[in-house]
Copies of this chain bind each other. A is one copy, B any other.
């Protein structure tokens, strides 16, 4: 039975929330209302319900995310509730960290040996004790949705209920129907992209593809993520480039060889189903250097003699060339700029990367992207999706760019800003200038596998809420809103990622 259907019976369908007294024990029931996220005004809410009804059961298309392909290939069990829900999820962990919890108590990093049951139960109890700290957050929204719809939990998390909830989830995990491949069915995920190193042999993808019964119903593809091969300032750059030579059998001692090797790996990814490349650098600038200079900087980089400034110039040259390759091989190019990775080095040293201490900063697009857009911005073969963590750019840069350049699409909110209010701000900012046709469609960008249905369902509810708001003030007719909701879920990602 699909998750969407479960919700319909589990939720309570009154639109007015139940009035509860401060210590009413019933208040501690964990519920999921069918009208969640819909505008409170009765007329608008009814329109939103009708729009949502048309998209709620559509399959999930997830063209960018971080689910490890090994999980699917090996169809491994999620082991225990902490390792499923807490250890890998820096969204959750960072809030506990801020409130005094050590990341080690939560099992971080994933590369550590799995904690014993006592440790896992303690970590899970810690999360439950901090339940109030998540009020009003996106994490609370997704987790509640998972607890109720996926695991069948009916108690609000707290110190008292932690063990019982742990047991419920453990029993769910231990059921062989809840392995990743079975969940792909139950979650109705029709398309899922992972994120992969250019030198990856993609054997997990190949193994999965070889299961024809699975791969007839589900498309799982890799994504080419070459950041570390484009950053000559990184201490591991030369190691990466050596590895690139080894994997491709090409000579990467010159820029020409590097370019061949890159094209070779992009082709390999393409052959294995990839539809896009993903790029995250300090800024969005991309610009060709004079050929001779580019070659000279590349040689200096290979000899570890490149300066910081030169490394930036070379990275911009290499990123520009990725855009050129995209016009040739047709892989959609997604940009996720302007995050200070490992803002707290002590934490990174102790726990590694992606553990919650990356912090965004302001980004500039109009000037930085100009050379790339002048060269390729209207190329029929290039799709370029601009993501941002800087809401200022919505109406000022992204929507104006996407409303002119044929290659440019507006990426949906990502990371810190993929939360309900924030997404509504996004919709209200970009749609008026760029229209719906220039939006990427939902990207969940998550490594929290079981949150995928909650995240996509959230976006469909917000689509319905936004469209209903346009209908109720007579900016759209309802049939147009329904058609548009469908397009946002189906047509936009298909167009942008050429599915």
Chain A residues in the interface with B (C-beta under 8 A):
15-24, 27, 31-33, 35-41, 43-44, 47, 50, 54, 94-95, 97-100, 132-138, 140-141, 156, 340, 343-346, 356-357, 359-362, 364-367, 370, 373-374, 377-378, 389-392, 395-397, 399-406, 408, 416-417, 419-422, 425, 428-429, 431-438, 469-480, 482-484, 487
A360 touches B44 (CB 8 A): no
Q: Give Cα A135 to B437, complex, Å.
A: 9
Given contacts A136-B470, A484-B132, contact A98 B403 (CB under 8 A): yes
A133 touches B435 (CB 8 A): yes
Q: Which residue of B lies closest to A373 (CB)?
A: B344
Given contacts A340-B367, A479-B27, contact A433 B137 (CB under 8 A): yes
Q: A344-B378, A361-B364 are in contact. List 20 more A-B contacts (CB 8 A).
A: A18-B478, A20-B477, A36-B475, A37-B474, A37-B475, A38-B473, A39-B40, A41-B41, A134-B435, A135-B476, A136-B484, A343-B370, A343-B404, A360-B396, A389-B396, A392-B396, A395-B416, A419-B432, A420-B475, A425-B428
A432 touches B404 (CB 8 A): no
A397 touches B360 (CB 8 A): yes
| CB of A480 to closest CB in B, whole Å | 6
A397 touches B361 (CB 8 A): yes
Q: Which of A47, A340, A403 has the most CB of B within 10 A?
A: A403
B359 touches A340 (CB 8 A): no
Q: Which residue of B lies closest to A482 (CB)?
A: B22
Q: Which residue of B lies closest to A461 (CB)?
A: B473
Q: Which of A392, A408, A416, A433 has the most CB of B within 10 A?
A: A433
A435 touches B135 (CB 8 A): yes
Among candidates B44, B344, B419, B425, residue contacting A404 with C-beta atoms closer than 8 Å: B344
B432 touches A474 (CB 8 A): no
| CB of A354 to closest CB in B, whole Å | 13
| Residues on B with beta carbons closer than 8 Å to the beta carbon of A435 | 95, 133-137, 140
| CB of A207 to closest CB in B, whole Å | 37
Q: Give Cα A210 to B394, complex, Å.
A: 47
Q: Give Cα A324 to B396, complex, Å.
A: 31
Copies in the complex: 3
- Kindly list the 9 A-B residue pairs having the minimum CB-CB distance in the complex, ordered from nearest: A419-B432, A33-B474, A27-B479, A36-B474, A361-B366, A136-B431, A40-B472, A133-B437, A421-B428
A50 touches B405 (CB 8 A): no
B400 touches A360 (CB 8 A): yes
| Residues on B with beta carbons closer than 8 Å to the beta carbon of A401 | 359
| Residues on B with beta carbons closer than 8 Å to the beta carbon of A367 | 340, 361
Q: Give Cα A136 to B136, complex, Å.
A: 28
| Residues on B with beta carbons closer than 8 Å to the beta carbon of A24 | 479
B397 touches A359 (CB 8 A): yes
B405 touches A98 (CB 8 A): yes
| Residues on B with beta carbons closer than 8 Å to the beta carbon of A471 | 17
A433 touches B404 (CB 8 A): no
Q: Give Cα A54 to B20, complex, Å.
A: 14
Q: Give Cα A334 to B54, complex, Å.
A: 48
Q: Give Cα A352 to B364, complex, Å.
A: 26
B436 touches A135 (CB 8 A): yes
B420 touches A474 (CB 8 A): no
Q: Give Cα A47 to B19, complex, Å.
A: 8
A43 touches B43 (CB 8 A): no
Given contacts A428-B421, A484-B132, contact A478 B366 (CB under 8 A): no
B22 touches A479 (CB 8 A): yes
| Residues on B with beta carbons closer than 8 Å to the beta carbon of A391 | 392, 395-396
B480 touches A132 (CB 8 A): yes
A483 touches B437 (CB 8 A): no
B437 touches A403 (CB 8 A): no
| CB of A105 to closest CB in B, whole Å | 14
Given contacts A97-B406, A367-B361, A374-B345, contact A399 B416 (CB under 8 A): yes
| CB of A469 to closest CB in B, whole Å | 7
Among candidates B44, B473, B478, residue contacting A20 with C-beta atoms closer than 8 Å: B478
Given contacts A41-B41, A479-B24, A479-B27, contact A421 B416 (CB under 8 A): no
| Residues on B with beta carbons closer than 8 Å to the beta carbon of A399 | 416
B340 touches A432 (CB 8 A): no
| Residues on B with beta carbons closer than 8 Å to the beta carbon of A97 | 404, 406
| Residues on B with beta carbons closer than 8 Å to the beta carbon of A132 | 436-437, 480, 483-484, 487
| Residues on B with beta carbons closer than 8 Å to the beta carbon of A390 | 392, 396
